[in-house]
Amino acid sequence: MADIAVIGAGYVGLTTGTCLAHLGHNVTIADIDEIKVQKLNEGEVTIFEPGLSGLLTQGIENGNLKFVVGATSASRNAAFHFLCLPTPPNPDGSTNMEYFSSAIEEIKDILPPNSVIVNKSTLPVGTASQLKKQIQRTDVEIVSNPEFLSEGNAVQDFLQPSRIVIGAESQKAASSVAALFKDIDTTTQITGTESSELIKHTANAFLAMKLTFINEIATLCELVGANVLDVAEGIGYDPRIGSTYLRPGPGWGGSCFPKDSSSLLQTANKAGFDFELLEKAITLNQKHLQRTAQKVVNALPQGKEPENSKIAALGLTFKAGTDDLRSSPSLTVIEHLFNLNGRVSAYDPMVNLPIENMSKLEITSTAYEAANNADALVILTEWQEFADLNFERIREAMRHPIVVDARNLLNPQDLELLGFQYIGLGQ
């Protein structure tokens, strides 16, 4: 059992700290947001993550999980300091390190002797080496331990990971961090810090590239009369390809893939390497998002201009099972629809407030309301709730029974039997 400080109570820090407490460690999680700290100390989860609430309550009741305001009060008595701070993209795609640098400045002089700083958040290659210089402490080690948490599955991803990666410059530091996870049954890979940092960016960029590829294949399928679901299934039987991350969609997004792929691109550019393959994967994804919007406009009834039509959009979050709108492909597609003079009403089970900087977007409280008088309906997020809708009622509500299913969520035959014109993605 170790004394651990977790700096940052966001998607990564809250899951990391709560799960480390579940493993038996004595954990103090720090955040700058006093309201959030108060809510968490009262057992109120501030993000939508299945299983997190139970672990939070357990940690508080066991007395080995608490929340404080400010990094200093957490780090003062800890041996390990997990940095779980936001690493948002700068306009040029590089990583904004201001949250990290200010946290390091705040704690570097109060860290107890022989502390270990553990970089949990996704960071550009070379960050650990830079931080080592910044803290000017020969008795403090900096270890890279990237998170591989998918939103909506973060607790399981933490407690049952496909691997644990630890990047360190000393075997002693690596072993001390590995020991924190001794009760987790998985492979632990020890590397240098640069390799560990690059593993994280490479994993996300590769998954994003795989998605770009299947979305391009979906477009080709439409042109040659193939079915992308059959093609994805057929290639997925090959274990070298694997069947996951082959579901075509409107384009990929979220708080990680766009940020991590552009950060990796920046890292390569700064190192003097023109990473054309990754650049193309990113560009083609943007093109696919635009293509998705154009598909909706093209589906409008003959002679109906976008400016005189109403489009119902189902789904705003970046994927089902989360409440996260950050870099959501759904919002990007809707922006493109606005640029094509479309008028959009949208419904999402997890969104009931107007979207910042999207005042034109009408948010409805049910899917049926969004479908009311719509000339076309587009599925942008794969919420099961949308597959369970009463499509006879949807058809009655719409002006024209046209559905663009950008997630291939629905059954084409069922919709066509109900009188809909069904337009899928790659089928």
DSSP state for residue 383 in the 8-state scheme: -
Q: Which is nearer to ligand UDX, 245 or 368 (CB)?
A: 245
Sheet containing 376-379: give its strands across.
Answer: 362-363, 344-347, 311-314, 376-379, 402-405, 421-423
The residue assigned the tokens 């009311």 is 372
C-beta of 386: minimal distance to ligand UDX in Å?
14
Candidates 99, 148, 206, 368; binder of ligand UDX (CB under 6 A) is 148
Nearer to ligand UDX, 375 or 382 (CB): 382
DSSP 241-293: T-SSS----S---SSSHHHHHHHHHHHHHHTT---HHHHHHHHHHHHHHHHHH
Q: Does 227 bind ligand UDX (CB under 6 A)?
A: no
Task: Out of 151, 216, 335, 405, point to the residue binding ligand UDX (CB under 6 A).
Answer: 151
Q: Which of 46, 115, 204, 364 binds ligand UDX (CB under 6 A)?
A: 204
Q: For residues 97 and 125, is the Cβ–Cβ distance under 8 A?
A: no
- How large is the greatest C-alpha to C-alpha distance in the chain, in angstroms? 73
Residue with smaller CB distance to ligand UDX, 47 or 135: 47
Active site residue 19: no
Among 12, 19, 22, 5, which residue's Cα sits nearest to residue 68?
5
| Distance in angstroms (rounded) separating the CA atoms of residues 229 and 111 | 53
Q: How far apart are CA 142 and CA 196, in angstroms?
A: 12
Closest CA to 53 of 71, 65, 69: 65
Residue with tokens 């009741």: 61
Residue 211 or 313 having the CB closest to ligand UDX: 211
By CB under 6 A, residue 329 contacts ligand UDX: yes
Q: In whole angstroms, what is the distance from residue 243 CA to residue 412 CA?
A: 22
Pick one of 4, 52, 123, 211: the residue that binds ligand UDX (CB under 6 A). 211
Interacting span for ligand UDX (CB under 6 A) from 127-135, 148-156, 161-169, 182-190: 148-156
CB of 26 to ligand UDX, least distance (A): 26
Q: Which is nearer to ligand UDX, 198 or 207 (CB)?
A: 207
Catalytic position from the list 19, 84, 221, 256: 256
Binders in 301-320 for ligand UDX, by CB under 6 A: 318-319
Main-chain dihedrals φ then ψ at residue 83, nearest 5 degrees: -90, 115
**Vertex 368, ends 362 and 372: CA angle to 5°?**
65
- Selected range binding ligand UDX among 145-153, 160-168, 274-282, 331-339, rule: CB under 6 A: 145-153
Interactions with ligand UDX, residue window 247-286 (CB under 6 A): 247, 249, 252-257
Tokens coding 274: 């023109």
Our finding on whether 420 is near ligand UDX (CB under 6 A) is: no
CB of 426 to ligand UDX, least distance (A): 12
Residue 306 vs 329, nearer CB to ligand UDX: 329
CA distance to 59, 64, 138, 241, 253, per residue, from 207 (Å): 34, 36, 38, 11, 12
- Taking CB under 6 A as the criterion, the residue among 48, 245, 338, 368 binding ligand UDX is 245
Minimum distance from CB of 65 to ligand UDX (Å)? 22
Q: Least distance to ligand UDX from the beta carbon of 330, Å? A: 9
DSSP element (H, E) containing 119: strand 116-119
For 399, how many CA atoms within 13 A lie in the half-sphere containing its CB? 13
Write the binding mask 366 to 405 for ligand UDX: x where contact by CB under 6 A, - elsewhere: ----------------------------------------
Nearest alpha-carbon partner for 14 in 23, 426, 37, 3: 37
Q: How near is the Cβ of 329 to ligand UDX at its closest, in Å?
A: 5
Q: Which is nearer to ligand UDX, 149 or 333 (CB)?
A: 149
| Footprint on this chain of ligand UDX (rule: CB under 6 A) | 147-151, 204, 207, 211, 245-247, 249, 252-257, 318-319, 329
Catalytic residues: 256
